[in-house]
Amino acid sequence: MELDHRSPWELLVATILSAQCTDQRVNQVTPSLFRRYRQPAELAAAHLPDLEQLIRSTGFFKNKAKHLVACSKAVAERFSGQVPHTMEELITLPGVGRKTANVVLGNAFGQPSIVVDTHVKRVAKRLGLTRSDNPALVEQDLQQLLPKSQWTAVSQRLLLHGRYICLARKPQCRTCPVYQHCPWKEKGPQ
């Protein structure tokens, strides 16, 4: 987990901000964000232009700001300021889909979860672990292949492998630790 956080609430906010943004950039933004808005109720009452300015560098800041305010309001009002700890409840929050919910469940609450982002999807396909491009189906395929106790750790490893080694355009096959097990027909020489 590369997103800095001290609580389920901070991880939820950071994960929402991480859409189409690097974790490094999110980690630069969140300290000042959490100094200003310490609790869900405070962020729920944020003045949108002020919030937008704080998160501007994460990209898509207008939409993210709206989601953060609406999500914070839902957490404050419907869940008494506590981040819910079930998939069913998390995905009712504005700006939260299965990917974000799985990040929070696995990394904040220690519940087995498989996060499927573009990196996990790409690596899983290249390694022959799935044939699907649909994140929900990739998640299901990985759930069937892996012991439940390994879901969070393995999906995090796939994510990091895709982020740093098995890149979309220029995979680093020469340094790949699973090269000999990779059935991908387009892999480069080692």
Q: CB-hemisphere CA count at 13 Å for 46?
A: 30
Q: Establish whether 117 is a catalytic residue.
A: yes
Catalytic residue among 73, 117, 121, 141: 117
Residue type, 185: K
Sign of the torsion formed by the C-alpha atoms of 157, 160, 162 and 165: negative
Buried (b) or exposed (e) across 84-123, using 16+ Cβ within 10 A? bbebebbeebebbebbbbbbbbbbbeebbbbbbbebbbbb
Cα-to-chain-centroid distance, residue 108: 12
Residues 48, 37: Cα–Cα separation, whole Å = 13
3-state class of 20 per DSSP?
Answer: coil
Annotated catalytic residue 62: no
Catalytic residue among 64, 73, 99, 121: 99
Cα–Cα distance for residue pair 106/12, rounded to 1 Å:
12
What residues are labeled active site?
Answer: 99, 117
